């Protein structure tokens, strides 16, 4: 992350009461004036950490990076440049490389399916609904305007598995979408917490999110919601099969 060039970087690290020495390791980087390390109390889930780092950040642009993910060199400057070139845009999304727990590549260039180079916020949300998934990418692949996130009411913590894409939908109510065609980040999948039940619950929550989008965005029709929901269930079945092959889920 700190290797990014051509951008005025501020890195806020929040340790959510871990007991594995993460806080001490993070503190070792505080000699770099760009780094601030926070401790957040136990409880509150991911939204507590996400809100803490967002509140402390002072920049006009925000990128959230969960613990297992990485931002590839050059991606910050590239995505900021895209937002500055499109002042009406509230969010830029890039491709990501999917890796397993051993760092092996599962997919080299994932994401952005159905998304044009520049789209209105409503059209971008519709493309997401029709895809049945989150084509914008995990938070490490996305950069957004701080003002748009604030206008949307911040991170959408009422959602469990869909908190990222639900937050993007909120941000896209306040600006357009811009596509970053390069691979912006890596996203790691794996771990014993991945169960068949969780995969199915993700699909169910995406269906509820699509229904919400249909009630908010004029561009999203009832037919779009039905099509996207069916696609979400189909993708859940495919993920379940892949995760089992890779031994990333419990039966």
Task: Identify the segments of the chain with pLDDT beneath 50.
Answer: 192-195, 249-251
Q: Are 91 and 64 in contact (CB under 8 A)?
A: no
Give the DSSP letter of residue 140.
G
pTM over 0.75: yes
Which neighbouring-strand residues pair with 15?
39
pLDDT digits (tens, 9 = 90+) for 100-147: 888 889 889 999 999 999 999 999 999 999 999 999 999 999 999 999
For the stretch 193-213, pLDDT in tens is 444 556 778 889 999 999 999
Maximum pairwise Cα distance, the chain:
54
Do 145 and 83 contact (CB within 8 A), yes or no? yes
β strands within 83-219, DSSP E: 89-99, 105-110, 118-119, 142-145, 176-188
Collapsing DSSP to helix, strand or coil, 45 comes out as helix
Angle at alpha carbon of residue 194, lines to 192 and 198, rounded to 5°? 145
């Amino acid at each position: 992350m700190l290797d990014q060039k051509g951008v005025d970087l501020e890195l806020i690290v929040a340790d959510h009461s871990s007991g594995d020495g993460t806080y001490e390791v993070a503190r070792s980087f505080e000699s770099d004036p760009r780094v601030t390390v926070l401790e957040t109390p136990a409880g509150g889930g991911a939204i507590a950490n996400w809100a803490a780092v967002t509140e402390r950040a002072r920049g006009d642009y925000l990128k959230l990076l969960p613990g297992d993910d990485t931002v590839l060199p050059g991606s910050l400057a590239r995505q900021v440049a895209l937002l500055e070139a499109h002042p009406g845009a509230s969010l830029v999304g890039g491709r990501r490389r999917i890796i397993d727990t051993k760092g092996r590549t599962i997919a080299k260039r994932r994401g952005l399916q159905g998304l044009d180079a520049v789209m209105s916020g409503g059209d971008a949300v519709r493309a997401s609904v029709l895809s049945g998934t989150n084509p914008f990418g995990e938070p490490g692949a996305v950069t957004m305007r701080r003002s748009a996130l604030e206008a949307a009411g911040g991170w959408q913590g009422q959602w469990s598995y869909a908190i990222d894409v639900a937050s993007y939908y909120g941000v896209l109510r306040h600006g357009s979408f811009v596509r970053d065609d390069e691979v912006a980040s890596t996203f790691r999948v794996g771990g014993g917490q991945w169960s068949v039940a969780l995969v199915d619950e993700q699909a169910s929550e995406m269906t509820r999110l699509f229904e919400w989008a249909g009630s908010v965005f004029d561009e999203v029709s009832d037919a779009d919601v039905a099509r996207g929901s069916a696609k979400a269930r189909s993708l859940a079945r495919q993920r379940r099969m892949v995760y089992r092959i890779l031994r990333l889920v419990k039966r």
